[in-house]
Structure 1
Amino acid sequence: MHLGGRHNLRLQMQFGMRGIGSKIGYNMTKHLLFIFIAWLCVASAYAQKPDSSLISRHRPGLFWFYDGLRTKEQADVHKYERLILDVFYCDWNTPKVKPFQSDWTSIGWNIQSLFDIPVTKWNNVSLGVGLGYEHTRLQSNFVLDRMESTKSTELSDFLPVLQYEKSVFKTNKLFVPIELRFRTSGWKHFKFVVGGRIGYQFSNSTLFQYTNAETTVRQTTVGFYDFRPLSLSTHLRIGIRNWAITGSYNLNPYFKSAQSTKINGFQIGCSIALF
């Protein structure tokens, strides 16, 4: 800044060396700021990694700030499939009913959050462990009868006396998924996932809707005499990027009694990884 004129001369005489010191400090601040900006630009250029423009595609949302308990090098590896939503068609495997005889409205879903733990350097192989919730709904032309005398459950046809309109079987489950994940390199990767789930089933119910003597009856019953709370299942996903086809199968039957109809549930649908 040019210090000229009577007003500036008066200021110089008034403040003396303090004005010179301020000018020197101002110039030094400009130089330090310039050096800092130049160093920051150079450091950023050297620190930038190949493919860094894709980081936001792999670590979006809240997970951008999450590294967990792993080292910096491991935290920099791209993470995949940490919040997954599955929507699927529900059916059961039983000697009394052929597969895929359930109504098309037999739709269920689950949502699960998992940690992606790299096994290889570039995360082409990893482990997935987490927690999830699942709700299934199966509508069919069969009824689950609760047999009080034997404390068992039997799958039977609709009674001809009653005009059944709807028979629905619902389950709810909290589960721990454990997965082994394989994927190719790159953003547009192909993936194959196989794993299992250990779950606890609760609030399981049936809904019957029928007409008797021109009266529509809607009956909901929660619980069974011999329902198995522990669920063991296996599942797989095959897909590209964050989309996949998924399938799962319950390894143990729904009901524990030896006199109950043996029923194993299975699901087929699609999966999307949100993070």
Structure 2
Amino acid sequence: MKKILFLILCFPWFGMAQGDGLSSTVDSLYREDQFYVGVTYNLLSNQPKSLSQNGFSLGFNLGFIRDMPINKRRNVSIGLGIGYATNSFNQNLLITKDGAGGYTYSILNDSQTFTKNKFSNQVVEVPLEFRWRTSTPTDYAFWRIYTGLRVGYVFHNTVKYSGNQGDIKLINVSDFNKFQYGLTLSVGYNTWNLHLNYNLNALFNDQANIDGIPIDMNTLKLGLMFFIL
């Protein structure tokens, strides 16, 4: 995690260094922001009653987006790419395996002490963006508004618990939805950009429930996005 944070802090300076090394040759067919890296704070929305988050739930993502300008000035474009994301969620939803090979869900109360209870995932993502910016062929610092859709395939998930019920570790729980899709928005100037990603579908499938009530949670991720080249 220290290495990830170091890389994130270095990206802004890397972007500034690129601007300082401007070539005398003007590229009239330039493309912008084809690599991205971001860090987010992950929130659970539409939570079941009594479910709460605790600790810091972190997300990290990086990838490549092909920038395809659609006007002569090249400040409006479509972006399509591929990326990788990893997300963790610290909360009080206990997931255990039942005797029939399925899973049981319950909310940990105050008497059930624990030091760790989280689920995490790793995702291959396909971002599609509509991009507007104030860039020119010679301007490396500009305003941008990028909005779009992000579709992801969850290829790995993990559940970990440590507390008065012992240690639990579950890998690739089948009740998590494999496909995730949501809306994205990145707004900012130069290298620093505020980022929002709101998932439109539920984190779990219909098999996940508490006392017969489906767990219809989805996710909201807020953070910073850094674009280069």
TM-score (norm 2): 0.77
Q: Number of matched residues?
A: 203
Pick closer, same or farther for the CA change 1:241–1:161 going to 2, 3 Å. closer
| Residue matched to 1:240 | 189
Judged with a 3 Å threshold, the aligned counterparts in structure 2 of structure 1 residues 151 and 140 are, in CA distance, closer, same or farther, namely same
Name the CA shift for 1:179/1:168 in 2 (closer, same or farther; >3 Å). Answer: same
**Matched-pair contact (CA < 8 Å) for 1:142–1:167:** yes
Return the alpha-carbon distance in structure 1 between the equivalents of residues 175 and 99 of structure 2. 10
Q: 1:79 to 1:175 in 2, by over 3 A?
A: same
State the 1:91 CA deviation: 1.4
Alignment of 1:83 with 2:45, yes or no, is: no
Cα distance change on mapping 1:80 and 1:58 into 2, 3 Å: farther
- In the TM superposition, residue 245 of structure 1 has moved relative to its aligned partner by 0.3
Give the Cα separation in 1 of the matches to 2:41 and 2:71. 34
Aligned twin of 1:113: 64
- Contact map agreement 1:59 1:78 (CA 8 A) in 2: no
Higher RCO structure (Cα 8 Å, ≥6 apart): 2
1:192-231 matched pairs, under 5 angstroms: 192-211=145-164, 217-231=166-180
Q: Secondary structure, in 3 states, of the residue corresponding to 2:31?
A: coil
Does residue 264 of the first structure (1) align with residue 218 of the second (2)? yes
Distance 1:197 1:78 in 2: 24
Distance 1:59 1:117 in 2: 24
Distance 1:149 1:86, change over 3 A: same
Structure 1 residue 242 displacement after superposition: 2.2
Task: Give the TM-score, by structure 1 length.
Answer: 0.65
The answer to whether residue 204 in structure 2 is matched with residue 255 in structure 1 is yes
Q: Report the CA distance between 1:121 and its aligned residue.
A: 1.3
| CA offset digits 1:115-140 (Å, max 9, x no partner) | 11011112111011110001001112
Q: Does 1:94 align with 2:56?
A: no
1:191 and 1:144 map into 2 onto residues whose CA distance is 41
Q: Distance in 2 between matches of 1:58 and 1:262?
A: 49
Residue 228 of structure 2 corresponds to residue 274 of structure 1: yes
Specify which structure has the higher proportion of helix. 1
> d(CA) in 2 for partners of 1:98 and 1:91?
15
Q: Is the contact between residue 50 and residue 107 of structure 2 (CA under 8 Å) also seen in structure 1?
A: no
Give the C-alpha shift of residue 76 in structure 1: 3.4
- Structure showing greater radius of gyration is 1
String of CA shifts for 1:75-97, please: whole Å, max 9, x gaps: 73332111100100011112426
> Is 1:103 aligned to 2:65, yes or no?
no
Unaligned 5+ residue runs, structure 1?
1-53, 65-72
Match of 1:102, SS state, is: coil
Measured in 2, the distance between the counterparts of 1:230 and 1:161 equals: 35
Partner secondary structure for residue 57 of structure 1: helix
**For structure 2, which runs of at least 5 residues remain unmatched after alignment?**
1-15
CA distances 1:91-112 after superposition (whole Å, capped 9, x unpaired): 111242689x533421110001
Contact 1:209 1:218 in 2 (8 A): yes
Question: 1:141 is matched with which residue?
Answer: 92
